[in-house]
Amino acid sequence: MRVLVLGGTGEARDLAGRLVERGDAVVSSLAGRVSAPALPVGEVRTGGFGGVDGLADHLVAHGYDVVVDATHPFAAQITGNAVAACGRIGVPLVRLQRPGWSRHPLAGAFTWVDDVEAARVAAEALGVRPFLTTGRQQLETFAAWDDRYVLARVVDPPDWDVPSSWEVLRARGPYPYAAERELLESRAVDVLLTKDSGGALTEAKLGAAHDLGVPVVVVRRPPVPGGVAVVESVGEALGAIDAKRA
């Protein structure tokens, strides 16, 4: 089969590797928003498609049998474009999305909010030394926090001048428990902000915060559009692809 994997996640790389191993023709598409991304095996394209119309044209021109949307859980625009484009031309779509933290053992202790702006408001009521792990693209939502210490962790540097009171750490997971606990303690963090990204690479901070009595604010995932087959593992994604083959 000829498969387009909308990627950028570890699950997407694992899936591409498995598909290549078994002989499927795979193209992995990366948005290009992260410098020096980890690349999957097989053919890779970088950059957008030009919205729904561009993606639909690309699918037709390259004769894909199935599309797997394995983008980040918060890449709602890409997911929406994939749903619309695949629906328009009749190409099957599978959504591969790792389990979120709503099922985490500590989930009941978290403060859950619907967006990053609500996370800012909630955090202001919980602490004064926040740790931001919500991603680089929405850091400016917290720009008004120029009167306090803020610890922000990102993969790529912010594209704007952050306040002088901030400390910006550039790092890429995985982040082990001991390191996360030491980071929270050494910076006297008193509130943690994150998104419901799920996955083991960044999960340790949740346990470290809980053990130190640091409240956690979590931004809920955007909903997946209705009518899309959703799987939570690479194995399930392979099964869904094979079902399309039949």
> Which among 95, 8, 15, 96 has a CA at the least distance from the CA of 45?
8
pLDDT at 17: 95
Q: Is the pLDDT of residue 38 over 80?
A: no
Mean pLDDT of 222-230: 89
Mean pLDDT, residues 23-28 = 94
Q: Which CATH number covers residue 212?
A: 3.40.50
Are 74 and 33 contained in the same domain?
yes
Regarding predicted confidence, which is higher, 150 or 159? 150
Q: For 68-94, what is the mean pLDDT?
A: 95
Q: What is the pLDDT of residue 34?
A: 61
Confidence of residue 35 (pLDDT cuts 50, 70, 90): low
Residues 113, 210, single domain; the answer is yes
Are 197 and 241 in the same domain?
A: no
Q: Could you give the strand order of the β-sheet that contains 25-30, starting from the edge strand earlier in sequence?
A: 43-46, 25-30, 2-6, 66-69, 93-96, 229-231
Amino acid letter, residue 5: V
pLDDT at 137 over 90: no
Same domain, 215 and 228: no
Task: Note whether 92 and 200 are same-domain residues.
Answer: no
The boundaries of the domain holding residue 88 are 2-99+222-245
55 and 154, same domain (yes or no): no
CA distance 117 to 209: 21
CA neighbor of 90 nearest in space, from 120, 116, 64? 64
Cα Rg for the chain, rounded, in angstroms?
19
Alpha-carbon distance values, 24 to 61, 65, 226, 233 (Å)? 18, 11, 28, 18
Whether residues 199 and 238 share a domain: the answer is no
CA 80 from chain centre, in angstroms, equals 15
Taking residues 14-34, report their average pLDDT.
89
Q: Does residue 36 carry a pLDDT above 70?
A: no
Same domain, 213 and 169: yes
Given this model, what pLDDT does residue 44 score? Answer: 92
- 125 and 212 belong to one structural domain: yes
For residue 227, name the pLDDT band (cuts at 50, 70, 90). confident
Tokens of 104: 């985490």
Percentage of the chain modeled with pLDDT above 90: 83
Q: Do 234 and 215 fall within a single domain? A: no
Give the CATH number of the domain where residue 232 resides.
Answer: 3.40.50.720
Number of domains present in the structure of the chain: 2
Same domain, 181 and 231: no
Banded model confidence at residue 22, pLDDT cuts 50, 70, 90: very high
In the prediction, which pLDDT does 226 show? 86
**Is there a single domain that holds both residue 125 and residue 233?**
no
Q: How confident is the model at residue 113 (pLDDT cuts 50, 70, 90)?
A: very high
Q: What pLDDT sits at residue 33?
A: 65
The reported pLDDT for the residue numbered 143 is 96
Reduced to 3 states (helix: H, G, I; strand: E, B; else coil), residue 226 is coil
